[in-house]
Amino acid sequence: MLTGEEHRDVTRGTHPAAGDAAGHRRPPGGPGVYSSNIMNDNSRLKVDVAIDERIVTIHGDMDLRTAPEVDRAIEGLGGDGDVVLDMTGVTFMDSSGLRTVVARRQVLEDAGHRLVISDPSDPVRRVLEITGLESHLDISES
């Protein structure tokens, strides 16, 4: 179903409009942070990336349509260290979402680093349990 109304917005903190020199509180998307969204009539996903902290925070549904957004976010951080995937706000995930997590974990592991899944939501936990992946992934609870 092509609605033609998809809103895909990438806000980068390096944009001159982000933050100001007087030290006021930065608006969302300040330096070191960027967000990308898929919001249309059907699919809903928001990804926040804290570049220095190497934390990717996912809000919404991870499926075939939206998982590539998460894939790009993790890939964009490069392979120089661990990456934390904050999955508290994941409202749905299926095997397409899982495929991205497993593939990115493998790339990082091959480079000697970890992909840490932080605080998985119930829908994420359920899929990890069903597929037997729970004991094969790095999961942290805060």
Partner 1 sequence: MTKGPTPLLLAADADSIATARDHVTGVLEDAGCDSDLIADVVLATSEIVTNAVQASGVDEEIEVAVAVADDAVTLDVANATSRPLPPSSTWRGGDPLRPQGRGLGIVEHLARRLSLDHSDGRVTVTAVFDAD
Quick check: 85 binds partner 1 (CB under 8 A)?
Answer: no
By the rule CB under 8 A, 121 interacts with partner 1: no
Q: Is 44 in the site for partner 1 (CB under 8 A)?
A: yes
CA distances, 83 to each of 35, 56, 57, 58, 74 (Å): 16, 7, 11, 13, 7
One-letter amino acid for residue 116 of the chain: V
CA distance 132 to 6: 35
> Of 12, 51, 79, 92, which one interacts with partner 1 (CB under 8 A)?
92
Cβ proximity to partner 1, 14 vs 42, nearer residue: 42
Q: Using CA atoms, how far apart are residues 16 and 12, in angstroms rounded to an integer?
A: 9
Closer by beta carbon to partner 1, 59 or else 65: 65
Determine which residue in the list 10, 20, 82, 136 makes contact with partner 1, applying CB under 8 A: 136
Told to check if 126 binds partner 1 by CB under 8 A, we report yes
| CB nearer to partner 1: pick between 52 and 122 | 122
- Cβ-Cβ contacts under 8 Å for 94 (sequence gap 6 or more): 62, 63, 64, 127
